[in-house]
Amino acid sequence: MTQNRRIVLAARPEGAVRPEHFRLETQPLPAVPDGHLLVRNRFLSLDPYMRGAMNDRKSYRKPQAIGETMVGGTVGEVVESRHPKFAVGDVVVGGFGWQLYGLSDGGGGLRKVDTSKVPMQAWLGPAGMPGVTAWVGLNRIIAPKAGETVVVSAASGAVGSVVGQLAKAQGCRVVGVAGGAAKCGLVVDAYGFDACVDYKAGRLEADLAAATPDGIDGYFENVGGAVLDAVLGRMNAFGRIAVCGLIAGYNDEPIPVQRFNSVLLNRLRIQGFIVSEVPDAWPPALAELAAKVADGSLKYRETIAHGLDAAPAAFIGLLRGENLGKQLVALD
């Protein structure tokens, strides 16, 4: 008999996440009541926000419950439907979490996607939540003008790579910051950034200065810590900073900021945002991003782990920067 397999949060991490914080469980498949559908998930998206959800503290989202399926975005096929709007074979993006099957009443943001021109898993990456995140932070907060310099941290990743390509298409000078020569090579050669600073090379301040001769007008922040400080030191008057993520601090490391005075000296505007709280941006962003994925003008990379059992190690790797591009799990 077919069974569902899922990964639950077994314990809350203090500091770094380890395999023992997760537990694999097997369950019978749920019955499908009237008005519901059953989805066989094919890809699971692993995202940095999941680290925050593992904590039990004040945040913009409620904590992941102990013993419950780990939260997460998924894409898969409808395998049984008693819902008028969904048919067997439809491909749907949902939030079924770290498990093979998901039962839905059609709500909770479940939506059909067209995989004729955009591959199924890209709806979790450049044509999905990470892409929309890039679009919102760039267009709604940084709002760059042609000729301005935009810097992006975690530039080789799912969000950062899209930010840079969108900014470049708007005529900006685009500089990425990423960890290691391989990631920086990808950022310049595949994604077309003008330059990339390897923050692990030990010359962050000097290399950032060399890459931003006219200063920085817009900064898309994914990381925090030393990179943020170096950027603050090069911001131009009336610069804008979109605070999207602070991954350097997700394992509870402190992320001190030394150059906060730049905010006043340069009359900066700094705004944090959560993409799920900007619903009006999703339709135009998804339309633009999916079209660019379909015509090949938006480049992206994926790191794919195979099998649900591989999800914890892949997630731990993501938090260590081991992924190249969007981290996915193929639920083979």
Residues that bind ligand NDP in the complex, under the rule CB under 6 A: 47-49, 130, 133, 154, 156-160, 178-179, 183, 222-223, 244-245, 247-248, 273-275, 318-319, 321, 323, 327
Q: Which residues in 274-298 are b (16+ Cβ under 10 Å) and which e? A: ebeebeebbeebbebbbebbbeeeb
Whole-number minimum distance, CB 229 to ligand NDP, in Å? 13
In the complex with ligand NDP, the residue whose CB is nearer, 102 or 245, is 245
Long-range contacts of 112-119 (CB under 8 A, 24+ apart): 112/86, 113/75, 115/91, 117/290, 117/293, 117/294, 118/290, 118/293, 118/294
Q: How far apart are CA 253 and CA 255, in angstroms?
A: 6
Q: How far apart are CA 164 and CA 53, in angstroms?
A: 27
The alpha carbon of residue 63 and the mean position of all alpha carbons in its chain are separated, in whole angstroms, by 18
Whole-number minimum distance, CB 133 to ligand NDP, in Å? 4
State how beta strands 173-178 and 195-198 pair: parallel
Whole-number minimum distance, CB 314 to ligand NDP, in Å? 11
C-alpha separations of 174 from 155, 177, 197, 229, 238 in Å: 10, 10, 11, 18, 18
In the complex with ligand NDP, the residue whose CB is nearer, 115 or 303, is 303
Whole-number minimum distance, CB 101 to ligand NDP, in Å? 25
Which residues, including other chains, have CB under 8 Å from residue 64's CB and lie 6 or more apart?
A: 9, 50, 53, 54, 70, 71
Whole-number minimum distance, CB 240 to ligand NDP, in Å? 15
**Tokens matching residue 48:** 């940095």
In the complex with ligand NDP, the residue whose CB is nearer, 266 or 276, is 276
Whole-number minimum distance, CB 237 to ligand NDP, in Å? 26
In the complex with ligand NDP, the residue whose CB is nearer, 232 or 247, is 247
Whole-number minimum distance, CB 332 to ligand NDP, in Å? 22
In the complex with ligand NDP, the residue whose CB is nearer, 78 or 285, is 285
In the complex with ligand NDP, the residue whose CB is nearer, 154 or 175, is 154
In the complex with ligand NDP, the residue whose CB is nearer, 231 or 247, is 247
